[in-house]
Amino acid sequence: MRILLPPSETKRPGGSGAVLDLDALALPSLRERREATVDALVALSTDPQAAQRVLKLSTRQAGDVDLNRTLRTAATMPAIDRYTGVLYDALDAGSLDARSRRWLGAHVLVHSAPFGPVGALDPIPSYRLAAGTALPGIPPMRRHWAQATSDAMGEERFVLDLRSEAYVALGPVPATVKSEYVRVVTPTGRALNHFNKKSKGELVRRLALSRPRVGGSAALLNWASAHGVLLRRAAPGTLELVVDE
Tell me: pLDDT of 211 over 80.
yes
Residue 206 has pLDDT above 80, yes or no: yes
Does 212 have pLDDT greater than 90? yes
Is 128 a residue whose pLDDT tops 90?
yes
Burial of 3 (0-12, 13-18, 19+ CB in 10 A): buried
pTM for the complete prediction? 0.96
Q: How confident is the model at residue 70 (pLDDT cuts 50, 70, 90)?
A: very high
Number of Cβ within 10 Å of residue 163's Cβ equals 24
Residue type, 192: L
Closest CA to 112 of 89, 133, 90, 139: 133
Q: Is the Cβ–Cβ distance between 191 and 182 less than 8 Å?
A: no
Mean of the per-residue pLDDT values of the chain: 96
Query: Where are the chain's structural domains?
Result: 2-242
Mean pLDDT confidence for 50-76: 95
